[in-house]
Amino acid sequence: WVEIVCFAPRAASEAIAVSLIVPAIALLSRMDARGPGDTQASRRWHAAQGGIAGLLLALGLIARFQYAPAIAFAALWGPNRDARATLPPLMLGGLVGLGLGAVADLAAGQTPYAWVWANFSVNLVQGVSTVFGIEPPWWFLAVILSIWGWSSLLLLPCIVAGARRFPMPMAVALVVIANHSAMPHKEYRFVLVAVVLLIFLAAIGSVDLAEWLTARMRPWARRLSRTRAIGALGAVWCAMSLMVGLSAPFNIYWNSGRDLLGSLILAGQRPELCGLAIYRPPGVPTAAYSALNRPVPILLFEGGKARTTLAANQRRFNSVITADENGRELPGNFTFDQCVSSVNRQPGPRQYCIFTRPGPCAGGGGDFDYNAVLMRPSA
């Protein structure tokens, strides 16, 4: 499905959490449906599944702690058939996962889980996230339906049919959407795990509905129609996925960050590159050494003193990425090289252009190393 294809390769907390939480929910749903069994071996396997699910849920919580209500809901629902046998290994697996998170924090020289409070304090208490926009509570539902478009007419009935067999994933998806709907700042990727679960339910439901239709045919027609129904169902899913992926508003995600990454790739291809400066980046500063692919310092200059600090440190770099209109603020020895623009970019100034100067670099990143600046709010 197109949304999974688009978001899965991105090293974002939501995509990482999906890879952990969805398998855990699959295990819990199976446990809820089948129970522990009567033999000692089956009960042991049941307990092992609970431990694995607990570990995965805890790691998913670490990846994106905003999924905590949904994770807690899944953990309470999963063992309900035999809580006495399942809940202890589930909790043990969860404690192991949380312990691994604490060890990772300590290895990084941080107080375990202090980042959770820091995130909560900055984004909700101080309201920093609202700088990026505030949306109404119904925004996620409206965006999901807008992205799916006409496919919603088929997906929604299939989701309902799939939820009849797997109610827990449906409930978890609704908890995720409800929880994030209460937050002032919203982005579509925030509810990625809910979208994946809903698509999973729609896939199951579509098969159930196809089986229901073919079962009502005469026996001789049923044998012929079953194979055709499977092929037709696959074709419909492919068509829906392509339609969603190529249509607005989802098609904007394919070019998200393309210009910046393209400018980094082009800058990294210059043999004489010895240092790169990002000057007054539009929006949130973002850079990636994986795109630059060169072991040279990346520097960041932003804020009211960006022009003077860049001029004073120009010996540290010989390439600058900035907007075309900012080129006149660079020192005179920097000349325009090229700009990167998406094919479908909107009219306006080119935001990612490369300016270069001749000569070597000296001094490294210093106080304006990219990561050092990001950790210094007043920079």
Q: What is the pLDDT of residue 212?
A: 83
* Mean pLDDT across 207-231: 74
pLDDT value at 151 more than 50: yes
Q: pLDDT-derived band of residue 275, with 50, 70 and 90 as boundaries?
A: very high
Q: Taking a C-beta distance cutoff of 8 angstroms, is the pair 2, 254 a contact?
A: no
Strand (E) or helix (H) holding 74 = helix 68-77
Whether the model pTM is above 0.85: no
Q: Taking a C-beta distance cutoff of 8 angstroms, is the pair 264, 286 a contact?
A: no
Burial zone of 3 (CB within 10 Å; 0-12 exposed, 13-18 middle, 19+ buried): buried
Burial readout 56-72 (b: 16 or more C-beta within 10 A, e: otherwise): bbbbbbbbbbbbeebbe
Whole-number Cα distances in Å, 170 to 70, 72, 161, 163? 11, 15, 11, 6
Interval 82-133: pLDDT, tens: 667 778 889 999 999 999 999 999 998 889 999 998 888 887 777 777 777 7
Can you list the pairs that 106-111 forms with residues at least 24 positions away whose Cβ atoms lie under 8 Å? none
pLDDT value at 346 more than 80: no
Interval 14-58: pLDDT, tens: 999 999 999 999 988 877 666 566 677 777 777 888 899 999 999
